[in-house]
Structure 1
């Protein structure tokens, strides 16, 4: 399968239509696929949020602003598919539950698409594992996000486990100042080399 065929198949995917229709948001699938076979950096995230579902562009929210700051890249670089692939564990917004919380990314998405997409990204040099879902898929064993991020040196310079850049993690960042003092500068330096 060619990359273009794969991208078209992902864009047309409706595997979760019934699941999404049954959520509190009652929405239809809208896969957000952002990659190119020449990408050198992979941002492996969780799933698009409601704003990304509306825009059709990944990380078009305050989380994206924070992530780009951690990476030390401008918006133009971040959205240059030839350099940065953004591959969440699920391509569609999974919706909200009755309490207004994000639902987890449906596992069927990664099972169906992820390995095939990664096979089409031969030039990757650095992978950012953003949040627990991406870390659990890419790394062996089960650990907390804090433990995985704290052990970042075990994986650098080719892989960086990161907390989710959501505003909900502001307290986590304050509690773990080593993240911005140590990991972020190493990440920026590595990305500058690669990009």
Structure 2
């Protein structure tokens, strides 16, 4: 890693964290509160976590997956909070950087439409060392997999073996959202914990934990 490349990433991250496009030039209704972009970029991490958008608790803390969903995701990965929040180990780049607000039923709105077109390609280009992208939920799967994804999220995640073996770099592994609202989905799809999670944890161990104390 050169000093120029590190500076380029840090400059881009500063621009993203100062972004107000969803208020000043929104697609549709503007963001209903002050923007607080949440993103973790890295020039060392081998794994990128591509989620949906921050929720209310993450909006308050500024820490990605700082909620029960994060607890479940860390369990899926087989890592503790210290490893998860080490930017040398994981980059965390949601599809929408800001909490999008709540719908009429009290659920989170979809990720803002402005974020990905404005920032995603340039940010990923600044992290060429990424070897594995974990695409969480339908919005991340749509962007990262395109026509390779299936009709539904369940079908896409069930197709994980083929998707993981595609001739592409970085490799992409689809996951459901770790929200506790998806507990029913996990019960209806026991193959996820039985078959996919062991492969995920082995990959995380190889790419992250095994090299944690090794110098680059």
Task: Report the TM-score when normalising by structure 1.
Answer: 0.93
Q: Does the 8 Å contact 2:36/2:98 carry over to 1?
A: yes
Q: 1:116 aligns with which of 111, 119, 122?
A: 122
Aligned-partner Cα distance in 1 for 2:164–2:112? 29
Provide the aligned length of Structure 1 versus Structure 2.
193
> Post-superposition shift, 1:104?
0.7
- 2:185 equivalent in structure 1: 172
Aligned-partner Cα distance in 2 for 1:168–1:150? 19
Q: 2:8 aligns with which of 2, 5, 11?
A: 2
Aligned-partner Cα distance in 1 for 2:67–2:175? 17
Aligned-partner Cα distance in 2 for 1:63–1:119? 28
Aligned-partner Cα distance in 2 for 1:97–1:8? 30
Q: 2:69 aligns with which of 53, 60, 63?
A: 63
> Post-superposition shift, 1:17?
2.1
Instruction: List 4+ stretches of structure 1 deviating above 3 A.
Output: none
SS in structure 1 at match of 2:201: helix
Aligned-partner Cα distance in 2 for 1:34–1:126? 15
Aligned-partner Cα distance in 1 for 2:12–2:41? 11
SS in structure 1 at match of 2:122: helix
- 1:163 equivalent in structure 2: 176
Q: 2:104 aligns with which of 89, 98, 103?
A: 98
Aligned-partner Cα distance in 2 for 1:43–1:105? 15
> Post-superposition shift, 1:100?
1.5
Matched, 1:72 2:78: yes
- 1:139 equivalent in structure 2: 145
Q: What value does the CA root-mean-square deviation take over the aligned residues?
A: 1.8
> Post-superposition shift, 1:124?
0.7
> Post-superposition shift, 1:83?
1.4
- 2:214 equivalent in structure 1: none
